[in-house]
Amino acid sequence: MQNPRLLDIHNATVYRDNKKVFDGFSLAVEPGESTAIIGPNGAGKSTLLKLLTRELYPVVREDSHVRILGQDRPVLWKLREKIGLVSADLQQGFVPDVSGLGVVVSGLHNSIGLFHHQDVTEEQLARGRTVLEELGITELENRPYRQMSTGQQRRCLLGRALIHDPDHLILDEPTSGLDLHATYHYLHGIRELLQRGKTILLATHHIHEIPPEIKRVVFIADGRVVADGPKEQMLTDTALSELFTMPLVVSVSNGFYQVLPA
């Protein structure tokens, strides 16, 4: 039996803050089909990811559906065990005094920190320490979140996303705000996850964030899919210049793409 699609959106209408972002939007992503969603700011990338994490819901219509892992109405806590999330919204909203270990373990409680009413077990703490070790950030175990750099926070949040060992990860602008060293360190970790078989849905307007292992690229503009295909056909001078409405030149090095003004 074929595994259900990670994401299956058909003819969806979605509002965000009383603004219609999607009108008749459709997109499907198969399990194992890591995909980069590219578009300018305001194109609808974050809205798409919020549909997948159930932070947003479509208008209910008979000729429309949003299915996640084959389900129209997935149980939210079960969904979060199967799909890990790292986003700027999550990073900005996190409790500032929680430790690095607390950030990671909070993924088991679907919370933005650890709180006194939560029953945190020694087994959960041990699992969190294992994730910190796997990511090479054991030095952050007891460091307060507010004392971490942006890159350190992002790596702890990646650990939070991985604590259930999900098959799928959602990354929203993953290297935004990171310096050059932190960017490439973070991307190295993402590449390792892809090589281990994780399916990653990456939303960005930074072309250099797309790891060589991601082969499919979808362009979004004005709340609709405007192009979809293999990376080599999508990340060209002509296609990207049209998407971002300015003349651009693309170069490729070691499987990574770079874009400069023409």
pLDDT score of 159 more than 80: yes
243's tokens: 């998407």
189's tokens: 């970790």
How many C-beta neighbours within 10 Å does residue 124 have? 20
**Residue 187 Cα distances to 50, 173, 216, angstroms:** 22, 12, 17
Q: Is residue 161 within 8 Å of 131, Cβ to Cβ?
A: no
At 183-240, the pLDDT tens digits run 888 999 999 999 999 999 999 989 999 999 999 999 999 999 999 999 999 999 999 9
Domains along the chain with CATH numbers: 7-261 (3.40.50.300)
Q: At a CB cut-off of 8 Å and minimum separation 6, what does 135 contact?
A: 155, 158, 159, 162, 189
Max Cα distance, the chain (Å): 56
Mean pLDDT, residues 18-25 taken together: 93
Mean pLDDT, residues 136-151 taken together: 95
Mean of the per-residue pLDDT values for the chain? 92
Q: Using CA atoms, how far apart are residues 260 and 187, in angstroms rounded to an integer?
A: 20
Q: Is residue 217 within 8 Å of 35, Cβ to Cβ?
A: yes
Q: Is residue 8 within 8 Å of 187, Cβ to Cβ?
A: no
At 121-141, the pLDDT tens digits run 999 999 999 999 999 999 999
Q: At a CB cut-off of 8 Å and minimum separation 6, what does 197 contact?
A: 32, 167
Q: Using CA atoms, how far apart are residues 51 and 46, in angstroms rounded to an integer?
A: 9
At 40-84, the pLDDT tens digits run 988 999 899 889 888 899 999 999 999 999 998 887 778 888 999
The DSSP secondary structure of 112-169, one letter per residue, reads SS--TTS---HHHHHHHHHHHHHTT-GGGTTSBGGGS-HHHHHHHHHHHHHTT--SEE
Which carries the bigger pLDDT value, residue 118 or residue 236?
Answer: 236
At 212-228, the pLDDT tens digits run 999 999 999 999 999 99
Which carries the bigger pLDDT value, residue 100 or residue 120?
Answer: 100
Query: In angstroms, how far is CA 235 from the centroid of its own chain?
Result: 20
Q: Which 8-state DSSP code applies to residue 71?
A: B
Give the pLDDT score at 1. Answer: 52
Give the chain's end-to-end CA distance (angstroms, integer): 49
- What's the pTM value of the predicted model, to 2 decimals? 0.91
Give the pLDDT score at 225. Answer: 96
Q: Using CA atoms, how far apart are residues 148 and 200, in angstroms rounded to an integer?
A: 25
Mean pLDDT, residues 145-157 taken together: 93
- Give the confidence band of 177 by pLDDT, cuts at 50, 70, 90: confident
Residues in the chain: 262
Indicate the pairing of strand 216-221 with strand 35-38.
parallel
Mean pLDDT, residues 84-108 taken together: 91
